[in-house]
Amino acid sequence: MAKIWRQPHTLEGLNALNSNTMGEKIGIVFTEIGDDYLTATMPANENTVQPYRILHGGANVALSETLGSVASTLCIADLKVQTAVGLEINANHLKSVREGGQVTGVCRPVRIGRQVHVWQIEIRDEKGDLSCISRLTVAIVARQ
């Protein structure tokens, strides 16, 4: 696939976006920018696990939403005119990840339209096993 990003970007810049956000609080770190994908990691720790000491499903959704929303923002030609807003997200939690581990999410486009972007996010554990698969729909709207 061809390069899809329309905004300048660096890993340092993407990680700076997380400053003072939930993403920072739960440890999301962008780790790779490909021509048509973004990758980020997140720990399974006291900030992201549920009472049974496994990664909380909501943390998976937060990682997915973060990856997809940032990806959509990078695809917008003029950020002074338009912005990306999440419209719908779903997640299938396929395998638990125990506290002490780490997951990696990879976000790839399903469709990048003028008004709607759809992203698929695969979240894998440290062994490479698929832990969660998520789909995010993002609306591209006029900035107000």
Report residue 15 as tokens.
């990680």
Name the catalytic one among 12, 65, 99, 126: 65
Q: Helices (DSSP H) in the chain: which residue ranges?
A: 11-17, 22-25, 57-75
Instruction: Return the structure tokens found at 109.
Output: 């486009």
- What order do you get walking across the sheet with 102-112 strand by strand? 29-33, 38-43, 102-112, 116-124, 130-142, 82-93
Is 32 an active-site residue?
no
Tokens read off for 6: 């329309």
Residues with catalytic roles: 65
